Amino acid sequence: MPGNGGYVVWVDRAFGPFAGSLMGTWKYVCSAIGAAAFPALCSDYLTRVAPAVSRGGARVATVVTFNVALTLLNCTGLSVVGWTAVALGLAALSPFVLMVGAALPKVRPRRWGATTAAGGKDWKLLLNTLFWNLNGWDSVSTMAGEVERPGRTFPAALVSAVCIGSLGYVLPLLAATGAVDAPPEAWGDGYFADAAGLIGGKWLKYWTEVGAVLSSIGLYSSSMSSAAYLLAGMADLGHLPSLFAARAPAFGTPWASISVTGAIALGMSFLSFDSIVAVTNFLYSLGMLLEFAAFVWLRARRPDLPRPYRVPLGTAGVVAMCAVPSSFLVLVMAVAGWKVCVASAAFTAAGVVVYYVMAFCKDRGCLKFGARAEGEYEGC
């Protein structure tokens, strides 16, 4: 469905404004808090190159500068953000391409069988980290209104991204673990750079660390864009005040949504990485289950809706298709600790409060809201 808001629009059309608003809360919190992990990761990577960055004041200054600079970058428009992300992606992947090439003569398959000591495996952390690294494909939908021919552009972009992302994970991991005699316990945050140094020399280690910093910059910028345009889409639907859909005269970007998202991400940047990942995964799982339900519901109840592309399966087929990832989502939620459950319940309650507060303000005329265009997406 063209227009910003993506999955909020889908759920809104399937189950009504309350479900759409709750979906927006879950996914926005995921995007905004998830983005907060990247300034902290960037600071950690910089610490390996310049240890002085790890000290209290310097670390805070690094995180704040990172956040403010990329918030301003997002205000210049998605074209600038997109091409910047492409350039950063190429720069971030290049040292891994070289590392894989240099590692090939040194790979010994027996090293892939190395195991940790008894009791050293943390399956919950593995599951959460894998899930966090491999989800978020639907976040691009929140910017559909900014993309020309999204029905043709999105499938091509997603297929390319899945292939590049998969190879970008698997090949360097096989190369590094197969070429370096390092115990599994050595593989902490940032050890990939140490492995690159052992394989190709110090120059490759430093290049890998710089690539990690550039990767964090690109990921943060794209995550912020997705979250900000989600707010703008919710404002277009009437879930939030029209201020969040207001565009800057110079660049045509939703400046209020970008500013709010940047402020929230900055505030959350000082949480631990593991805490951020666990909470965002739980909320993301809730949102995806609702998203799959909307997909099946609209397919069954509104088969007449024009669709730019269509999964060539009937209702039973799409139910079966969605059942596979849904079972994985339930597993991610089942392994969450009680603190994650409490935090997720608090965010959900906040989403319910936001919906009714916005409804109250709309009825009383306290805030200005955009008109809901019920038929706006009917002819997509």
DSSP 90: H
pTM summary value: 0.79
- The encoded tokens of residue 302 equal 């509104």
DSSP 114: -
Residue 245 main-chain phi, psi, to 5 deg: -100, -5
Distances (CA, A) of 324 to 137, 321, 330: 16, 6, 10
Give pLDDT tens digits along the chain (380 positions): 767 778 888 899 899 999 999 998 998 888 887 777 777 777 777 777 777 766 667 778 877 888 888 888 888 888 888 888 889 888 888 999 999 999 999 999 988 887 777 667 788 878 888 887 888 888 888 777 778 887 788 888 889 989 988 898 899 999 999 999 888 888 877 788 889 999 999 899 988 888 888 888 888 888 888 888 888 888 888 888 988 888 888 888 888 999 998 888 887 776 666 666 778 888 889 999 999 999 999 999 988 887 777 778 888 999 999 999 999 899 888 888 888 888 889 989 999 999 999 989 888 888 888 765 444 444 33
Print burial letters for 133-145: b (CB count within 10 Å at least 16), e (below 16): eebbebbbbbbbb
Dist CA 194 CA 327 (whole Å):
37
Q: How far, in whole angstroms, is CA 112 from its chain's centroid?
A: 30
- The encoded tokens of residue 308 equal 């730019």
SS3 annotation, 252-270: CCCHHHHHHHHHHHHHHCC
325 and 292 Cβ atoms separated by less than 8 Å: yes
Task: Domains for the chain: give ranges and CATH numbers.
Answer: 7-364 (1.20.1740.10)
